[in-house]
Amino acid sequence: MSEDKKSILFVCTGNTCRSPMAEFLFRHRLGRDAAWQALSAGVIAVPDCPASQEAHEVLDELGIDASEHRSRPLSPELVEQATLIAAMTQGHRNELLARFPEVADKVRLLTEFGTGADMQEIADPVGQSVGVYRYTRDQIDRAMADLILYIRERWGLESPPETKGT
């Protein structure tokens, strides 16, 4: 990651459903040239697994290709490099704080960024129907709007200036 890029780390359990959907929805909303990098990890993830088929399907419905995703366990390096960490549940947040108490100021629930934040958890859709995954995707996407506004107000989202041809 370049020094001028800030990063957000999305955290769930296995890093195959919720956090990859959040990572790719964030990237989709900001575009490729954004000054922010999105990553995801799981508190008990098995390394190098693809996102679930259902996660792929519901992201594909929005024109988002998550085929490059491979799961990764939460690591000190990922936590340290993150500017902001968004957990899917209070349990994930508690695990992060237990393992990395020094980063408490940058760990929040994904649903905690709006002015009317209700701190609702994003439930795990694993093993559920595509309809449940779609609901989870939409819940994450709704929270994304507040998250992006929060980031814009706190750090800005500026991309490097484009060079215009004459």
The tens place of each residue's pLDDT in the chain, 166 residues long, gives 455 689 999 999 999 999 999 999 999 999 876 789 999 999 999 999 999 999 999 999 999 999 999 999 999 999 999 999 999 999 999 999 999 999 999 999 999 998 765 678 999 999 999 999 999 999 999 999 999 999 999 987 665 444 334 3
In the residue annotation, 12 being an active-site residue is answered as yes
| Amino acid letter, residue 83 | T
> Which helix (H) or strand (E) element contains residue 146?
helix 130-154
- Check 17, 18, 93, 137 and give the catalytic one: 18
CATH 3.10.20.310 fits 6-154, yes or no: no
The residues spanned by each domain of the chain are 6-154
Angle 160-163-164 (CA atoms, 0-180°, nearest 5)? 140
> Which helix (H) or strand (E) element contains residue 38?
strand 36-42
- Check 29, 124, 138, 146 and give the catalytic one: 124
In the residue annotation, 124 being an active-site residue is answered as yes
- Specify the residue for token string 């819940």: 139
Pairing of strands 36-42, 84-87: unpaired
Q: What is the spatial distance between Cα 70 and Cα 40, in angstroms, rounded to a whole number?
A: 9
Q: What is the pTM of this model?
A: 0.91
Cα separation values, 10 from 78, 140, 161, 162, 166, Å: 10, 11, 27, 29, 41
Give the three-class secondary structure for 6: strand
